[in-house]
A and B are shown apart, each in its own frame.
Chain A
Amino acid sequence: MGGHDAGTQYQFTGMAKYFNAYTITGRRNCVLATYASLLGIALFFKLKPKKQAAVTAK
């Protein structure tokens, strides 16, 4: 089954060479990319400037 030697017969080109679901390094890169994206989304919403509600004088 998928041991440490699995996925050695694939020869990808372009983006798939680094991000694929077959080679161990491809899978690792996909995992890291997912974590980085999630971190990016979290940081984006955390650092987004909050809209101040306009204070209406009565």
Chain B
Amino acid sequence: MTVSLFDQFMSPTYLGIPLLALALTLPWIFFPSPTSRWLNNRLLTLQAWFINRFTQQILTPLSLGGHKWALILTSLMVFLITLNILGLLPYTFTPTTQLSLNLALAFPLWLATVLIGLRNQPTAALGHLLPEGTPTPLIPVLVIIETISLLIRPLALGVRLTANLTAGHLLMQLTSTAAFVLLSMMPAVAILTTILLFLLTLLEVAVAMIQAYVFVLLLSLYLQENV
């Protein structure tokens, strides 16, 4: 029954109307907007703490030119972590399991870092394609290798996020199906499978947050090289 295993990754539609736009924008209602109060409620304080702390973390290694990326990097982090965590709820569609979405996020942002580097400091940007101190016979080989590794970055960013989330969701579905089927036949094995499922769910919560963080961190790293 391979068909039903991947149904969870189908883009949601209702009576023919695609709901992807809703899936991407509705999580926004979970985040209250700041008020003009001096002291806010708990949720708002927590939200502000997280945003400030994260922005400080991600911008510390960046030079001043990279600080204008603060808004996009932090909002990307909040967006990805929300989508990933909400997707762990049963029967909830996870947009970040779609390669199209992840490549659409990774490719333009990576390209922006490369173009910024070529525009503002072309010598340094091109010079970074050859590691310092390379032996002369290896120079052409290494230039080609470094160029390929540069060009493969957006693909790696997108596929990493997609693969991690898709694999996790698939594993959870497989394990839960196994536990459910085994419940009537071999209850003891079903209990063990349920324990495995529980541990897997904990792992998936961690992976959801870590993968969002890794995505944004790598982008900031690519920016550091070029800004």
Contacts and interface: CB of A to CB of B under 8 A. Distances in A.
Contact of B143 (A2, A24, A30): A30
Contact of A22 (B122, B123, B133): B133
Main secondary structure of the interface of B (DSSP, over half): helix
A35 to B, nearest CB: 8
Interface residues of B, number: 18
Interface string A1-35: 01010110000000000000110110110111011
A7 to B, nearest CB: 7
Contacts of A35: 143
Contacts, number: 46
Of residues A27, A28, A34, which shows the largest number of chain B Cβ atoms within 10 Å of its Cβ? A27
A31 B134 contact: no
A28 B127 contact: yes
B130 A27 contact: yes
B135 to A, nearest CB: 8
A21 B130 contact: yes
B144 A27 contact: no
A34 B124 contact: no
B56 to A, nearest CB: 23
Given A34-B143, A37-B140, A21 B134 contact: yes
A-B interface, 8 closest residue pairs, ranked by CB to CB distance from nearest: A27-B127, A34-B143, A24-B127, A28-B127, A27-B130, A21-B134, A28-B126, A2-B132
Given A6-B132, A21-B133, A27-B126, 16 more contacts: A21-B130, A21-B131, A21-B139, A22-B132, A22-B133, A24-B127, A27-B127, A27-B128, A28-B126, A28-B127, A31-B126, A31-B143, A32-B126, A34-B143, A35-B143, A38-B144
Interface of A: 2, 4, 6-7, 21-22, 24-25, 27-28, 30-32, 34-35, 37-38
11 contacts: A21-B133, A21-B135, A21-B139, A22-B132, A22-B133, A25-B123, A27-B130, A30-B130, A31-B129, A34-B143, A37-B140
